[in-house]
Amino acid sequence: MNGIQTGQGAVPILTGAERRKRFFRQAGKQKALIFLSIPIMGYILFFNYLPLWGWIMAFQNYKPAKGFFTSEWVGLEQFARLFGDDRFYLVLRNTLAMSLLNLVSGTVACIFLAIVLSEVKTVVFKRSVQTISYLPFFVSWVVAANIVITFLSPDGGVFNDLLMALGVLEKPVMFLGKEQYFWVIVALSNVWKNTGYGAIVYLSAITSIDPMLYESAQIDGATRLQRIWHITLPGILPTVVVLLIINIGGILNNGFEQQMLLGNPLVLNASEVLDLYVLRYGISLQRYSFSVAAGMFKSVISVILILSANGLAKKLRMTRLF
Amino acid sequence: MEDRFISLFSAVFLGLTVVLTLYPFVNVLAISLNDPLDTVRGGIYLLPRVWTTYTYEKLLSDTSIYQAAMVSLSRTLLGGSLNLMVTIITAYLISRKEFVARRLFSFLLISTMYVHAGLIPGYLLIKEIGLVGSFWVYIIPGLVNAFNIIIVRTYIEGLPDSLVESARVFGAGELRILFQIVIPLILPVVAVVTIFVSIGHWNAWFDTYLYGAGKRHMVTLQYRLMEILMSAQLRTDGQSSGQAAANAIAASQSKTVSPASLRAAMTMLVTVPIMLVYPFLQKYFVQGLTLGGVKE
């Protein structure tokens, strides 16, 4: 596997002055490229980097009326309040738990689907299944959440009716109103929505395994299951490891749409994740400084996690991500 | 023996996958086409019991739905095409190996994928430049998408350098090289990115929540559906099924539709456009993912 090339070819060793001269000579020839770059780079600086300035709010008691310059400086007080808030640890737990559950269930489901698909020899069947399987990926979480709510509804929802018909339940259960089911519902709806699409990577990893391996294993008398176990799985292992590492790096950035749309006041203790905590304090309660401190905590930890994950992946020499 | 078992298992498993993927849509469709009052009795699984298009008629008789559809469509078309243009131009710029600002540009761009200022600083910036409550908040802040740019750049870098070089020797300018030589050769990846950005725009709802709540000219179809969803979520909380049924009866008597039916119909309305373009787009999806960062 190789990532995207960022390196350049061999550059001749030049002295500083020569380098500068060369740079300006080249730059002179690239007026059009530079001209096109300026607005785009300016845009990136403005929309992506300028807001970083807002992080100073985390060290202030920011009041919109006073602005950045005259708001009172409070040092690390907002962070002290953040780390002293029991709710913060609950929210952190929810974030990590749901991210990990989604990651594990999602990875297992994708690998399983990819392997089963690769075992199908009828091309038309395989293609049709694949095409259908990634349909849910392209609908929004709003649509998916509506579907989940309809499906799990205690008023004639299919799932309750099915369990009652099987004798598992005696009367309908409001699954979305019970804290203990929330994480599972999130994980399963995630599997429903994303498995088909996520399986594509693993399927392409399987197709790139040398067919000779399967042929010689077959000659040696390996059964189909043995071939899956000893050739297919080890063959996609590098892909699995790299994707796992990278996804663990993004564990705090696992989104909030599911939690926001499927959650409700009854399950708030299980559904609130960091992003929603930031949103609640920032937008609903207008406690900007506190909210920025929480957001900053998340951003900083995320960057550390992602960079170490990418570093690890690179160290394992399996891929270079960007 | 084992061989046949695996074949059988695969067929059954994949059949089940297809059913589980599609069935929820079918169920919602059935509910949306069933009489709202009858739906309360439960037991709508595959087909409507009492067919009616009343819920849809009711939904479509509300003129604000057309406005929401227009906003959704406008942001998809305008936002999608502008985003695509910026993506292609940026990808081209950072793909030129001799470009002096290439490393700086790439670094600035790629860092945006990792470093996020967060919700509030971004919100305050948008507020400061007066985009809150403006349609342009859908278009402008999301114009540069590093992930899509990287996908396109990778593809451009796969083209032979000699193409661009020879064009340059013949005196073609950068824009001409981009539009007449590069773009025709990267159409597959352009298709993929077009799909990503348009579907992203069509599916977006959170920016309306942040910047357009309570403003009619900002409401999109997804946001409307989100509002219906949220009110349903709050309603189920405090009520037993009996009360929900009573509500539905009251609703039917006053000649309105029940929340559940309305929600189902609206869900279908938002999903149908995706389903309609899906057959045309799906062949590019596989390409899309394998073109990305993880590539064999």
pLDDT of residue B56: 94
Given a cut of 60, is residue A301 above it in pLDDT?
yes
Mean of pLDDT values over A134-138: 92
For residue A250, the Cα-to-chain-centroid distance in whole angstroms is 6
Given a cut of 90, whether residue A146 has pLDDT beyond it is: yes
pLDDT of residue B293: 43
Whether pLDDT at A2 is above 80: no
- Residue pointed to by tokens 């952190």: A92
- Contact flag A30-B236 (C-beta cutoff 8 Å): no
| Strand A60-61, strand A72-73: pairing | antiparallel
- At B73 the pLDDT is 97
Segments in B54-186 forming alpha helices (H): 54-60, 64-74, 80-95, 102-111, 119-128, 146-157, 161-169, 174-176, 183-185
Q: Would you call A266 an interface residue with chain B, using a CB distance cutoff of 8 Å?
A: yes
Residue A248 is encoded by which pair of tokens? Answer: 């663990």
- H-run or E-run covering B158: none
**Is A73 part of the contact surface with chain B (CB cutoff 8 Å)?**
no
What are the pLDDT digits (tens) for A24-42?
Answer: 888 878 888 899 999 999 9
> Does A1 have pLDDT greater than 50?
no
Nearest residue, CB atoms, A41 vs list B28, B108, B234: B108
Residue B222 near residue B72 (C-beta atoms within 8 A): yes
Q: What is the reported pLDDT for A268?
A: 94
Question: Taking CB atoms and an 8 Å cutoff, what residues of chain B touch A141?
Answer: 203
Predicted confidence (pLDDT) at residue A320 exceeds the cutoff of 50: no
The pTM for the full model equals 0.89
pLDDT class of A7 with cuts at 50, 70, 90? very low
- State residue B295's pLDDT score: 37
Residue B150 clears pLDDT 80, i.e. is over it: yes
Does pLDDT of B236 surpass 70? no
Distance CA(B278)–CA(A137), nearest Å, equals 11
Report the residue of chain B nearest A172, measured CA to CA: B241
Round to whole Å and give the CA distance between A20 and A30.
15
Percentage of chain B surpassing pLDDT 70? 88
User: B120 by DSSP, 3-state: which?
Assistant: helix
Helices A141-152 and B259-290: angle between axes, nearest 10 degrees: 130
Q: Which two tokens stand for residue A5?
A: 């090339």
Q: Which two tokens stand for residue A301?
A: 């930890």
The closest CB to that of B236, out of A51, A129, A177, belongs to A177
Q: What is the mean pLDDT of residues B12-25?
A: 96
Q: How confident is the model at residue B41 (pLDDT cuts 50, 70, 90)?
A: confident
Sign of CA dihedral A248, A252, A258, A264: positive
pLDDT value at B287 more than 80: no
d(CA B220, CA B40): 29
Distance CA B199, CA A44 (A): 23
Kindly report the nearest CA distance between residue B182 and chain A, in angstroms: 15
DSSP 8-state secondary structure symbol assigned to residue A232: I
Residue A225 contacts B where some CB pair is shorter than 8 Å: yes
Residue A317: the pLDDT is 59
| pLDDT over 70 at B240, yes or no | no
Between B285 and B203, residue with greater pLDDT? B203
Output the pLDDT for position A11: 54
What DSSP letter does each residue of B170-192 carry, written as one string?
Answer: TT--HHHIIIIIIHHHTHHHHHH
Q: Which helix (H) or strand (E) holds B255?
A: none
Higher pLDDT, A194 or A2: A194
Note whether B241 contacts A299, CB cutoff 8 Å.
no
Q: What is the dihedral of CA B154, B157, B158, B163, to 10 degrees?
A: 150
Residue B68: which pLDDT band, with cuts at 50, 70 and 90?
very high
Residue A3's pLDDT is what?
40
pLDDT score, position B283: 72
| Structure-token pair, residue A26 | 């080249």
To the nearest 10 degrees (0 to 180), the angle between helices A123-133 and B2-32 is: 40
- For the segment B87-101, what is each residue's pLDDT rounded down to a tens digit? 999 999 999 888 989
To the nearest whole Å, the CA of A48 is away from the closest chain B CA by 6
Interface of A with B in 29-48 (CB under 8 A): 30, 32-34, 36-37, 40-41, 43-45, 47-48
Residues 111-170 of A with CB under 8 A from B: 113, 116-117, 119-120, 125, 128-136, 138-143, 145-151, 153-156, 158, 161
Number of Cβ within a 10 Å radius of residue B282: 17
User: Is B240 or A295 the better-scoring residue by pLDDT?
Assistant: A295
Q: Mean of the per-residue pLDDT values for chain B?
A: 86
Residue B176 half-sphere exposure toward CB, CA atoms < 13 A: 9
* pLDDT per residue as tens digits for the range A187-220: 999 999 999 999 988 998 999 899 999 999 999 9
Question: How much is the average pLDDT of A309-313?
Answer: 83
Q: Are A173 and B54 in contact (CB under 8 A)?
A: no
Average pLDDT over residues A84-110: 96
Instruction: Tell whether the model's pLDDT for residue B201 goes beyond 90.
Output: yes
The span from the CA of B255 to the CA of B253, in Å, is 5
In DSSP notation, A81-147 reads: HHHT-HHHHHHHHHHHHHHHHHHHHHHHHHHHHHHHHHH---HHHHHHHHHHHTTGGGS-HHHHHHH
Q: Higher pLDDT residue, A271 or B168?
A: A271
Any chain B CB within 8 A of the CB of A11?
no
How sure is the predictor about A69, in pLDDT bands with cuts at 50, 70 and 90? confident
Residue A322, C-beta contacts closer than 8 angstroms, at least 6 positions apart: A3, A4, A6, B110, B113, B150, B293
CA distance A247 to chain B (A): 13
Is the pLDDT assigned to residue B115 strictly greater than 60? yes
What average pLDDT is seen over chain A?
A: 89
A57 touches chain B (CB under 8 A): yes
Under DSSP, the state recorded for B49 is S
Note the pLDDT of residue B28: 96
pLDDT tens digits, B250-274: 554 445 578 889 999 999 999 999 9
Beta strand residue intervals within chain A, DSSP E:
60-61, 72-73
What the block records as the tokens of B99 is 């470009």
According to the model, what pLDDT value does residue A312 have? 85
pLDDT for the residue numbered A4: 43
**pLDDT band per the 50, 70, 90 thresholds, residue A82:** very high
What is residue B296's predicted lDDT score, i.e. its pLDDT?
Answer: 30
Q: In the structure encoding, which two tokens stand for residue A126, read together?
A: 């395989």
Q: Does residue B76 surpass a pLDDT of 60?
A: yes
The residues near A69 (Cβ < 8 Å, ≥ 6 apart) are none
